[in-house]
Amino acid sequence: MIINVSKAKANLSKLVDMAYHGEKVIIAKNNLPLVELVVHKPEAKRKLGLLAGQIKIPDNFMDEDEEINAMFYGGHS
């Protein structure tokens, strides 16, 4: 169903119910489709540790690198 904004304002509850029950609801302005009402799907919670045991971080990961320091702070590498 395509409905113009002015009619959508007056029938919002009905349109939300229709979208909730699976009907395609598109809101238009000047007969130009703008948005579609869709049922909200909550995002799944993030799962921490998905790559546990699959990545090896080197022991020197946090050590400074002279070449990188030279790029950021100037000087000779």
pLDDT digits (tens, 9 = 90+) for 35-65: 999 999 988 888 888 888 898 889 998 999 8
Tell whether 22 is covered by a domain.
yes
Q: Which domain holds residue 9?
A: 2-37
| Among 1, 30, 29, residue whose Cα is nearest residue 17 | 1
Query: Cβ-count burial of 15 within 10 angstroms (0-12 exposed, 13-18 middle, 19+ buried)?
Result: buried
Tell whether 56 is covered by a domain.
no
What per-residue confidence (pLDDT) applies to 72? 92
What per-residue confidence (pLDDT) applies to 76? 61
Tell whether 61 is covered by a domain.
no
DSSP state of 44: P
For the entire predicted model, the pTM comes to 0.55
Distance between CA atoms of residues 61 and 5, nearest Å: 56
